[in-house]
Structure 1
Amino acid sequence: MATGLVALLDDISVIARAAAASVDDVGVAASRAGAKAAGVVIDDAAVTPSYVTGLTPDRELPIIARITRGSLINKLLILLPAALLLSEFFPWAITPVLMLGGCYLSYEGAEKVLEKLSGVQHGETLSGPIEDVAAFEEQRTKSAIRTDLILSAEIMAITLNTVAAETLFARAAVLAIVGVGITVLVYGVVAIIVKMDDIGLYLARKSSAAAQRVGRFLLSAMPRLLVALSVIGTIAMLWVGGGIILHGLEDLGLTAIPDVVHNVQHHVQMTTGSLSGVLGWVTFAVISGLVGLLLGTVIFVILHKVLRIGAH
């Protein structure tokens, strides 16, 4: 039974092919496809608030606006034309491109886990002194846009993988609508998250007792939410990265490892009765995360211990 990323691809395939049948259906189908891609875009919503944490409140929304603009440029001016060219002339390269992105997500997730365990950070962070605030803000904005480029490439490639055989117009329309819709949704949510403390402070100063309670709740919840988002973002990177690798190996005919994973998943489904669907999905997601963690750790060791890139 296809679950996890495989199910995501299957769902997008049905939606995208329906979209190609009629121009009127493109908008609805593409928006549904974007919603189905939550397993990938959760990284953006979970990780992006960390790029503005600790900076002055007046700079939060301008930074998010810059990241949003960079994300739209990534999707519409860089990735959409590249995806159309790829599907037109090199359709065989879609799976390897997806897998490269999976490796990157696995590395990013594993790096966060290893840094947390070791206490060693690679690069300047908010936990250390910031000598040049403007330069640090610029660095974090560029870092967010760079990470968005990888995540956006995954979203576009996942969608493209299912509409490569359709007309050029249908491919372009679905990719554009999914790209814009996901960008607006994700960074709208991010803007609300990073301003939640300001909203809480505003409500806490109101005369209404109910408003004050809500305001105090938002203020107290904000630090916990940021920690939770950091954890969720790391888990999502590992889960999605590992899932992409497993699915890519299947597409390339290298089925030994994916077969073991699916056998374990099938065994769980056969022994859990009415919960088989949920626990089967959880099993695939957990194993995908472990695969992502293992692969990301190997890449981390090669980059930081063997090649000494970013080593202290």
Structure 2
Amino acid sequence: MQVSWIEPDEVRALAALLHGTTSTGTGGGWDVQTLPDASQGPQQPLLPQAPEPVGSQAAPAQAPAAAQPQAPSADVVLIREKLRVIRDRAKQAGLIQDEPPVVQTSPPATAPLDAPMAPPAPSPLSQLPPLASLRPEPTAPAVQAPDVDPSPAPPEPIVSAPAPAASRSSGAPAFLPLEGPITERLENFARWASRFSGATEVLLADDHGDMLWGVPSHSSLIVSAILAVQQALRASAGSLQQPPNVLWVPDTEAGDVQVLPCSTRFGLVTIILVSAPELEGTSVAALREALVLSVEAGGS
């Protein structure tokens, strides 16, 4: 067995070379200075190199192909199919209406601002003459001359007005009011009115239908009389200063009834005459005057 001897300096230089560092040891064996320096650039060849063949040159980079759309997956296709079926069923049930296609209308062309606008043409109706000139002028009716009768007209006969009927007051005593309580004054008036009018029953009532004097023989007598007075007052606009004249209430249980409203200082008082002959104008005035004196005498 042959053993070669290696100097320690050479071993240290070799270890330093393996670890990337150099040692400053003494030369011997391999000379560190003869190794190539990595910091120096590549050495130029002594002879020029031949050009590379055309086939060996790198081909220009090709443009990447356009990205192709990927096909939808099976789950997406299934979901779209279900949505389409649901939409078709909703349309058949009337829940969804087909939207009409949107028609895009082009905006109206506007005339340029600097272009002068032509004046509007006059209407054919404005060129016609006014209607007043087309209407025919009214012609005045012909006036006929009155026929002149040569003979004079006979004088009209003078008709004398009939004399008014004699009032019952001429055969009845004059009314004399009393001074005393209201009940005595109304009793005095009722006795005089019975003899003056010839009525079998004389009653006095206020505007509410309450009895002031007398006792009616029938309950419907007062109701019928007051209803007749209220209806007459509504027809005359409710005037108390000019009450209506005598009111007739026929076909009652007590017989024909004459109702005479009378306005006093204390309100409206109604005179009810049962089975009395028809009253005349002077008799009506006499009854009203006597009632006013009886009610207002003494101021109470």
Question: Which band: TM-score by shorter chain?
Answer: under 0.3
Who wins on radius of gyration, i.e. which is larger? 2
Please, what TM-score do these two structures have when normalized by structure 1?
0.17
Please, what TM-score do these two structures have when normalized by structure 2?
0.17
| Higher share of residues assigned helix | 1
